[in-house]
A = this chain, B = another copy of it.
Amino acid sequence: MSSAREPATPEQMIDNDRVRVTRWSFNPGAATGWHVHEYDYIVTPIIGSAVTIVDGEGRETAVEMVAGVSYFREAGVAHDVINAGPGPLVFVETELKEART
């Protein structure tokens, strides 16, 4: 299952032994495409937007990403993330590369 949408643009800013930090930029309608999170991660929106999350069963969930409002998710999450808003969506993803101690 893949998204025929315009892909979001990743820009990796930090990749060291502890974290990988990537800025993701979406035009309206763009999507990450299906992916599985390898690491626990934090998302920090920079420019917020309405977002549609599509899970493994194709179920769609509407969420709002708000600038400056971060959230934490655990490794294993699998989904497609679509910018459902009329404007750009930009968020920073911080992945925790070390196993949980």
Residues of chain A having any CB pair with chain B under 8 Å: 13-14, 16-19, 21, 23, 40, 42, 44, 46, 67-72, 90, 92, 94, 96, 98-101
Q: Can you tell how many copies of this chain the complex includes?
A: 2
Q: A96 contacts B44, CB within 8 Å?
A: no
State the majority secondary structure of interface residues on A: strand
Q: B17 contacts A100, CB within 8 Å?
A: yes
Given the complex of chains A and B, what is the CA–CA distance between A14 and B19 in angstroms?
17
A10, chain B: closest CB distance, angstroms:
12
Q: A14 contacts B72, CB within 8 Å?
A: yes
Residue of chain B at shortest CB distance from A90: B68
Question: For A17, A42, A67, which residue has the most chain B Cβ atoms within 10 angstroms?
Answer: A42
Q: A70 contacts B17, CB within 8 Å?
A: no
Q: A69 contacts B13, CB within 8 Å?
A: yes
Q: B96 contacts A99, CB within 8 Å?
A: no
Q: B18 contacts A100, CB within 8 Å?
A: yes
